[in-house]
Amino acid sequence: MTFGIDAIAFDVTKLHLPITTLANARGIDPEKLEKGLGLFKMTLPDVHQDVVTLGANALTKLIIQNDIDLTAIDRIYVGTESGIDSSKPIGSFLVSLMEQKFGEGILSHCDTLDITFACIGGVDALHNCLDFVRLNPEKKAIVVTTDIAKYDLESTGEYTQGAGALAMLVTVDPRIISFSGEFAVSTKGVFDFFKPYRSFSKSDITGTTENEPWHDVLEAEIEIHKDQPVFDGQYSNQCYTDRTREAYFRFKEMTKTEGSLYENWEAILLHLPYAFQGRRMFAEIFALDATTPLLTDNEESSDHQNKVKEIAKSEAYRDFVNQQLQMAETASSLIGNLYTGSIFMGLLSALSQFSKNGNDISGKKLGFLAYGSGSKSKVFEGTIQPGWKEAVDKTQLFEILGESHEIGFETYLQLHKKGLKKSILHAKNEWVLHHIEKQNPNLLGARYYEWVD
């Protein structure tokens, strides 16, 4: 009996800004972003979209494409770092919307929650659901990842934005990929990337030291939350590298693997804040875990880093990237960062290309190296199942990505600043944000959605 992902679906926003357009507007050499980071398009949400609509669209596709009986679903767990409410989880919205479309009360028995640990929250949700199905083989669960990666204008993260969601059915005897119960973890509490509440003195806004009510705020300090993170890019990269390396070698020890661990994997899926992040990070592991190690841990730091850079430029490493990393990067280049969904989009990207190329990878193992800022890495592996091709082909990943609508730089700025009142594209066969309650005092801020045929 095996346990894993039986079906997968996705939803990515239909608007994109070409990276060359952003680069030219910011005075950046486009080749630095395209050839250096692997970026070509940056997807952006339309006015009627948010993380609930993206997650609901992916979940609806999963249900319809795979004819899922919702009465058989006992869990819908959501991985996200883009929550829209500090109390009400995205999962409760998804249950409500699925009942709105497929039948009142059809999911009243279903457990749901959101899991947040930066970009690794989706993997945490998957592991929770895998454990649940192992204990209850007759039951099924769904994992949804949904995020909007938004960065401040003119920041060093601006060109890594993206928006989208994935939904995955977790069952016994899955069609796509099964997972062992083993996964290694490396955790360390750091501030490499986070989204804090930010405080401002009310007097700075009102221009008076009198603490008079302001939009029903009685406190002298006003707290706001921004979707954009506080981050240190260089430090975050180092945390990503350190956590992943530690988890990788713990997994190797845990599984008692002789020789190189990564040579057992047909492809490797990593969290990709930008398309080439994984290949930049993995060079050190490639060298340390080679059949004949190219590095040792007892070298001076400067010598160690210089050797890593040399190895990253070597023909052997370029061949390795092309064989085991590149296919997972392709979709990321056309979408941008999906935060919790990034590693799973890498899985779908690689499988879609294996299918297109006619490769039968049934029985092959894939390696997963997940990361979330704050910080934590998980390393685990899965085995491709015989029904993978049919299940993956239903998604039509690259056909749908090819239909994305290009926008210009000024439109991008208006979207980023939330200055547009009307959607750019007409919604069709998707969930939309209908309105946010602003009058009823008992429902202020409540978000309402509807399905548009």
Whole-angstrom distance, CA of residue 257 vs CA of residue 320: 20
DSSP H or E segment with residue 451: strand 447-452
Q: State mean pLDDT over 319-348.
A: 98
Whole-angstrom distance, CA of residue 349 vs CA of residue 390: 15
From residue 63, give the alpha-carbon distance in Å to each of 59, 67, 140, 258, 315.
6, 6, 13, 42, 44
Shortest CA distance to 177 belongs to which of 80, 95, 239, 267? 267
Is residue 278 within 8 A of residue 325, CB to CB? The reply is yes
The residue length of the chain stands at 453
Output b/e per residue, 200-234; b: 16+ Cβ within 10 A.
eebeeeeeeeeeeeeeeeeeeebeeeeebbebeee
pLDDT band for 210, please (50, 70, 90 cuts): confident
DSSP 385-397: -TTHHHHHHTT-H
Crossing angle of helices 301-312 and 277-288, rounded to 10°: 110
DSSP for residue 140: E
Question: 398 phi and psi, to 5 degrees?
Answer: -75, -25
Question: Looking at the predicted structure, is the pLDDT value of residue 32 above 90?
Answer: yes
Whole-angstrom distance, CA of residue 398 vs CA of residue 396: 6
Is residue 443 within 8 A of residue 437, CB to CB? The reply is yes
The model's pLDDT over 388-400, given as tens digits with 9 standing for 90+, comes to 999 999 999 999 9
Whole-angstrom distance, CA of residue 392 vs CA of residue 5: 11
Task: Quote the pLDDT of residue 209.
Answer: 87
- In CATH, what number does 3-192+228-452 get? 3.40.47.10
Output b/e per residue, 417-439; b: 16+ Cβ within 10 A.
eeeeeeebeebeebbbbeeeeee
Q: What is the 3-state secondary structure (H, E, C) of 197-249?
A: EEEEEHHHHHCCCCCCCECCECCCEEEEECCCCEECHHHHHHHHHHHHHHHHH
- Sequence spans of domains, the chain: 3-192+228-452
% of residues, the chain, pLDDT over 90? 90
Crossing angle of helices 326-335 and 277-288, rounded to 10°: 160
The model's pLDDT over 435-451, given as tens digits with 9 standing for 90+, comes to 999 999 999 999 999 99
Max distance between CA atoms of the chain, in angstroms, equals 72
% of residues, the chain, pLDDT over 70? 99
Task: Quote the pLDDT of residue 315.
Answer: 95
Q: State mean pLDDT over 266-295.
A: 94
Give me the chain's average pLDDT, please: 96
pLDDT band for 202, please (50, 70, 90 cuts): confident
Output b/e per residue, 316-330; b: 16+ Cβ within 10 A.
ebeebbeebbbbbbb
How many Cα atoms are found within 13 Å in the side-chain-facing hemisphere of 145?
A: 28
The amino acid at residue 35 is K
pLDDT band for 295, please (50, 70, 90 cuts): confident
pTM of structure:
0.96
Asked which of 25-39, 173-187, 295-309, 327-341 is least confident by mean pLDDT, the reply is 295-309
pLDDT band for 107, please (50, 70, 90 cuts): very high
Question: Looking at the predicted structure, is the pLDDT value of residue 276 above 80?
Answer: yes
Shortest CA distance to 371 belongs to which of 266, 271, 258? 271
Counts for the chain of helices (H) and strands (E), in that order:
15, 19
pLDDT band for 139, please (50, 70, 90 cuts): very high
Task: Quote the pLDDT of residue 297.
Answer: 66
Question: Looking at the predicted structure, is the pLDDT value of residue 73 above 80?
Answer: yes
Question: Looking at the predicted structure, is the pLDDT value of residue 118 above 90?
Answer: yes
Helix then strand then coil, % of the chain, to nearest 5: 40, 25, 35
Asked which of 129-133, 138-142, 262-266, 299-303 is least confident by mean pLDDT, the reply is 299-303
Question: 148 phi and psi, to 5 degrees?
Answer: -120, 115
Question: Looking at the predicted structure, is the pLDDT value of residue 300 above 80?
Answer: no
Please measure the distance between the N-terminal and C-terminal CA atoms of the chain and give it in whole angstroms. Answer: 40
DSSP-derived 3-state class of residue 73: strand
Shortest CA distance to 379 belongs to which of 218, 246, 288? 246
Beta bridge partners of 147: 164
Task: Quote the pLDDT of residue 299.
Answer: 61
DSSP 101-128: HH-TTTTTT-EEEEE-BTBTHHHHHHHH
Asked which of 102-116, 224-238, 290-304, 404-418 is least confident by mean pLDDT, the reply is 290-304
Task: Quote the pLDDT of residue 449.
Answer: 98
> ∠ at Cα 71 (68, 76), nearest 5°?
75
From residue 414, give the alpha-carbon distance in Å to each of 17, 98, 410, 421.
12, 32, 6, 10
From residue 444, give the alpha-carbon distance in Å to each of 197, 216, 439.
20, 12, 7
User: What are the tokens at 168?
Assistant: 């995955």
How many other C-beta atoms lie within 10 A of the C-beta of residue 34? Answer: 17
User: What are the tokens at 413?
Assistant: 């700025």
The model's pLDDT over 177-189, given as tens digits with 9 standing for 90+, comes to 999 989 999 999 9
Task: Quote the pLDDT of residue 342.
Answer: 98
- Stronger pLDDT, 419 or 297, i.e. the higher one: 419
